[in-house]
Amino acid sequence: MIERVKSAMVGLGATWVLILMLVLSVVSLAIMLERAWLYWSLRDDAAGLMRDLGRLLRGGDLEGARRRLEASPSAEAAVVIAGIVEAKMGPEAAEEAMAGASALQRLKLEKRLTFLGTLGNNAPFIGLLGTVIGIVGAFDELGKAKNATLTGAAQVAPEAVMANIAEALVATAVGLLVAIPAVAAFNMFQRVVRTTLSNTEALSHVLLAHLKATGDSGTSVEDAIETAARSADRPSKSSGRSSKEAE
C-alpha cells in the first residue's frame, strides 16, 4: 500500500500542485478585484448622510429623507430606506424591516469572502503537500542511486535529488505567495464590511429615534408630515387675510 502511494506521488510529481496553486491564485485575484470594485461603488459620506437624514427628519420631511437616501449608492442608505417604507406601520415594523434589509446587505458584502479566507488558511498546506511530494521524490532517487553502481550514482543521483528538492521548495514558496495576499485582502474586506454595518446601525437608530419620538408625542408619522405641510401653508393664508383687512 505504501509503495503504491509512493509510486503515485513520485509519478505525478509536484507539478500538478503548482498548476492548482496557479489556478487558485487567478481565482483569488479575480475575487479581490470584484470585491474592491463593489466596495468602491458603494462608498459614500456616512457622516454627511447622517447629518442630512437627521435634519430632514427633525423638519418632518420624511419623503425628503427618502429621496436623499435614494440618491446615495451606499448599503447604509438601502437599509434605512426599507425602514422609511414601513415607517407608517410604527417603529417596530420599521426596525424589523431594517433588520431584514441589513441581513441582505451583509450577505451581499460578504459574498465570496469565504473563499479568500479559506484559501489564505489552506494555501500553505497545499504548498506543503507539494513539498512533501518533492522530498519523497528526492529520497526515491537516493534509493535508486544506492542500488546502482558507484559510477552511475555519482553521475545521476545528485542532479535528480537536487531537482526534486528544488521542486519541493518552489511549491512551498508558491503556497506562501498565494496565501499572503488572500489573507491581507480578506482582513481588509472584513474591516470594510464591519465599518459599513456599523454605519448602517447608526443611521437606523437615527430613524428609529425620530419614529419613537413622534409616536410618544401621540402623532403618527403621516400626521407629522401633514402638520408640517399645514404650517408651510399658514403664511400664505395669513397674508391673504391681512390684504383683505387692508382693503
pLDDT of residue 24: 94
pLDDT higher than threshold 70 for residue 149? no
Query: Which of 162 and 58 is assigned the larger pLDDT?
Result: 58
pLDDT of residue 232: 47
Out of 2-11, 107-116, 119-128, pick the least confident.
2-11
Which pTM does this prediction carry?
A: 0.76
The domain locations on the chain are 12-231
Taking Cα atoms as reference points, which of 10, 38, 29, 5 lies closest to residue 141? 10
pLDDT of residue 186: 96
pLDDT of residue 197: 94
pLDDT higher than threshold 90 for residue 93? yes
Out of 19-28, 92-101, 177-186, 213-222, pick the least confident.
213-222
